[in-house]
Amino acid sequence: MPKNLMIVESPTKSKTIYRFLNKEFEIIASMGHIRDLPTKEFGIDIENNFKPHYVLNSDKRKIVNKIKEKAKGSEKVFIASDNDREGEAIAWHLKEILKKSIPESSIYRVVFNEITKSAIQQSIKAPGYVDENKVNAQQARRILDRIVGYKASPILWKVIAKKLSAGRVQTVALRLICEKEEKIKNFIPEEYWKIEAELEKGSKFTANLEKYNSKKLEIKSESEAKKIFDKLEKAKYIVQKFEQKSKEQSPFPAYITSTLQQDASKILGFSPKKTMRIAQQLYEGVEVSGKNIGLISYMRTDSVRISKQANFELKKLIKERFPEKYSISFLRVYKNKNKAQDAHEAIRPTSSFRTPESIEKFLSKDQIKLYTLIWKRFVATQMAFAIISYTQVQIKADLGLFQADASNIDFDGFMKEYPYITVKYKGTKIPKLKVKDEVKLLNLLRSQHFTTPPYRFSEAMLVKKLESEGIGRPSTYAPIISTLTARKYVNIIKKKLHPTKLGIEVEKFLIAKFADFFNVSFTAEMENRLDEIENGDKNWQKLLKDYYSKFILLVEKIDVKKEKEKLSKITDIKCEKCDAQMIIKWGKNGQFLACSNFPKCKNAKNFITKENGKIEIVKDEETDKKCEKCGANLVLKNGRFGKFYACINYPKCKFTIPYSIGLECPLCGGDLIERKNKKGRFFYGCSNYPKCKFITNYKPVKMKCPDCDAKTMFKLHSKKDEEKFICLKCKKKLIK
């Protein structure tokens, strides 16, 4: 029987670690957090120094009992949860439960940055104990978020709509998005003109007018542009300055969480959430040649540090893989901006010799893409500088000064492996010139332009902004964006973050009432204070006391009735049931028209706002289908999860049936219905669910079945070089 027990977070991680331990160890997975604050109550004893009341997660009772049983029969228990605040909190909760049945002295904490044999064995040889400071920092964050959630969110429910949420950090992110939208909305384009000259001296090149009369160029009208243009047409063009210089371009450090999310978004098109999900898989272990192997180091990190062992192995790989000119004689070391963030290494492969091409066949398409990106960035860190030459020429013409720039990559260096570097003026060429050379004017061009509004945030740009402002930490970037989209505060359209009407309304209200709490500088400072708690420099309970005492005063000042009246807009539309005025209200799915006599009259209507600002009621489409309960006609409605038929006598008669798209299910012959999931995406499923579980995200297509005369088929899936269809008539499947 094994003497020792090791507790990890996930089954995948346990499989990988098991390979490196002897038979004296048994491994069990806690499946993440086992305890948390209660879901249906505040769970914080404010009077008792902010003591949290933790409860066992309902779905973890069986696994916790199993862990207790295994621990009782073990000499030592090693808790190997992830090496961050959340992981430390998981370890602490496990210790608190286990110490009731086994001696606390036999419970150890082990951490490793990578799941490799050497890292695991070294950690077991020198085990530690749960870091209480780290746990306190996590508790403080959790309680701060609970204070905001439980004290501010109910105000939103009463004033705007039910099931809305106010988040301490998510609201600041929403504020950034809404402020950007406001700038775009209020942006007024300004006219400006550019003048460029096509010149020749040995070969052709183009130069832009940068200055006129020794001032930076600002031409704001066509008449002004023409006046300057006429003078420049007659001028001589004389070289005033010609400069050539070379610059060594250093490689970027290995990825940290934020830079990985940004590059994965820009280069691979992955969302931060998807990036972190795949990175977690690579970290915990993937089956390679029948063995679970951890492929990358821990992926939630702010540190750019790399261990000497990993760097020396990398230098050996570079020497074997590339010509000698790509190697460097020294060890390139990157320094962190904040020493407190040095607990982890940067994100890197667990072995640089595990090249992408050697493991490609064992990984999914997305896994290999992300692994390759991580591997390339890491390999580049110990490769030679890239050498880039820059050329600049300035040409005097009357009172104008033209300038042309060009660059060339003389030696690619690290860019051979990591080519995702933007080189300014790449591809342009300038002939070799001398000062006082006269160049020939071939053509002079003037063009009208207008200033453009600021760009909306992409997910990558928002992560970069949050990081630069010191908001959030590696583990929070992806959840922040996921929460904003899940709450319908933000829509992602063409990879850009657009605030919804609901999001804008929530942001306006929260900022108006809690401006000092939901601002960038305050939130960034709070992150620093949490770091101070982790470092043992600040008392977590004092921090909570200061925050709560100020926050609760603002909550108590809010007059819910007045705020609700401000948001309710009276219209000139009359209620057809009681003749009262209809008013615009907010609901969990957006704005709607409601009778001002509510709750006596519960009449409500959906509406749209026309371009001229007029409100138009969205009428339900009456059909010839009959209600099975009262015999009245059914109307076609748009609901939260898609279209459906409802009795025209609603709410007296609440009969409904799903909306059929007029096609049979290819599996059982039932009606196919169009539905919408929680994210607002449409799919098609069988009306006989759950007996028949046919479901597809694809629309039916007009395509002739090769086995019968049917002209419609359903697309089931689309993989690389393969599309699978099913005939709705003969049920035969076709791979195209």
Per-residue pLDDT for 379 more than 50? Answer: yes
The H or E element spanning position 401 is: strand 400-411
Catalytic pick among 237, 298, 477, 489: 298
Task: Tell me which residue has tokens 């669910």.
Answer: 689
CB atoms within 10 A of CB 407: 19
What tokens does 163 get? 């099931």
The H or E element spanning position 445 is: strand 438-450
- One-letter-per-residue 3-state SS of 136-159: HHHHHHHHHHHHHHHHHHHHHHHH
Per-residue pLDDT for 721 more than 70? Answer: no
Q: What is the mean pLDDT of residues 375-393?
A: 97
Nearest to 479 by CA among 169, 166, 89, 165: 169
pLDDT at 641: 63
Give the contacts of 295 (CB within 8 A, at least 6 positions apart): 282, 283, 285, 286, 288, 349, 350, 354, 359, 371
Taking only the tens place, the pLDDT of each residue in 431-464 is 999 999 999 999 999 999 999 999 999 999 999 9
Asked if residues 552 and 498 have their Cβ atoms less than 8 Å apart, the reply is no
Per-residue pLDDT for 1 more than 60? Answer: no
Q: What is the mean pLDDT of residues 106-131?
A: 91
Per-residue pLDDT for 340 more than 50? Answer: no
DSSP summary character for residue 539:
-
Asked if residues 103 and 52 have their Cβ atoms less than 8 Å apart, the reply is no
Nearest to 406 by CA among 386, 423, 421, 385: 423
CB atoms within 10 A of CB 34: 21
CA distances to 28, 66, 275, 350 from 110, rounded to whole Å, are 15, 21, 26, 18
Nearest to 208 by CA among 432, 422, 397, 11: 397
pLDDT at 715: 67
- Residue spans of the domains in the chain: they are 4-130, 139-186+455-560, 191-250+386-450, 271-380, 568-617
CATH code for the structural domain at 191-250+386-450: 2.70.20.10
For CA atoms 513, 518, 520, 523, give the dihedral sign. positive
Nearest to 275 by CA among 470, 477, 17: 477
What tokens does 116 get? 């490799």
pLDDT band for position 725 (50/70/90)?
confident
DSSP summary character for residue 656:
E
Helix axes 540-557, 520-534, angle to 10 degrees: 150
Three-state SS for 368? Answer: helix
Phi first, then psi: what are they for 414, rounded to 5°? -65, -20
Three-state SS for 88? Answer: helix
Taking only the tens place, the pLDDT of each residue in 575-606 is 888 889 889 888 766 788 888 888 888 888 88
Three-state SS for 25? Answer: strand
What tokens does 489 get? 């505060």
Lowest mean pLDDT among 19-33, 41-55, 679-693: 679-693
Lowest mean pLDDT among 431-440, 649-658, 713-722: 713-722
pLDDT at 714: 67
Nearest to 372 by CA among 400, 352, 391, 401: 352
Asked if residues 259 and 304 have their Cβ atoms less than 8 Å apart, the reply is no
pLDDT band for position 343 (50/70/90)?
low
pLDDT at 688: 80
Q: What is the mean pLDDT of residues 634-659?
A: 80
- Is the model more confident about 252 or about 32? 252
Give the contacts of 333 (CB within 8 A, at least 6 positions apart): none
DSSP 581-595: EEEEEEETTEEEEEE
Beta bridge partners, 575, equal: none
pLDDT at 712: 66
Asked if residues 184 and 453 have their Cβ atoms less than 8 Å apart, the reply is yes
| Percent of the chain residues topping a pLDDT of 70 | 93
Asked if residues 1 and 75 have their Cβ atoms less than 8 Å apart, the reply is no
CB atoms within 10 A of CB 193: 21
Q: What is the mean pLDDT of residues 340-364?
A: 88
Q: What is the CA radius of gyration of the chain?
A: 32
Q: What is the mean pLDDT of residues 256-260?
A: 95
Three-state SS for 659? Answer: coil
Pick 271-380's CATH classification: 3.40.190.10, 3.40.50.620, 3.40.640.10, 1.10.290.10: 1.10.290.10
Phi first, then psi: what are they for 596, rounded to 5°? -70, -10
Structurally, at CATH architecture level, domain 139-186+455-560 sits in Orthogonal Bundle (1.10)
Asked if residues 499 and 174 have their Cβ atoms less than 8 Å apart, the reply is yes
Three-state SS for 244? Answer: strand
- The residue ranges of DSSP E strands in 452-495, in sequence order, are 490-493
d(CA 391, CA 405): 6
Taking only the tens place, the pLDDT of each residue in 499-518 is 999 999 999 999 999 999 99
Asked if residues 403 and 205 have their Cβ atoms less than 8 Å apart, the reply is no
Per-residue pLDDT for 648 more than 90? Answer: no
298 is catalytic: yes
Give the contacts of 409 (CB within 8 A, at least 6 positions apart): 386, 387, 388, 415, 423, 426
CA distances to 82, 145, 182, 530, 711 from 88, rounded to whole Å, are 7, 18, 41, 14, 59
Phi first, then psi: what are they for 542, rounded to 5°? -65, -40
For domain 4-130, the CATH class is: alpha beta
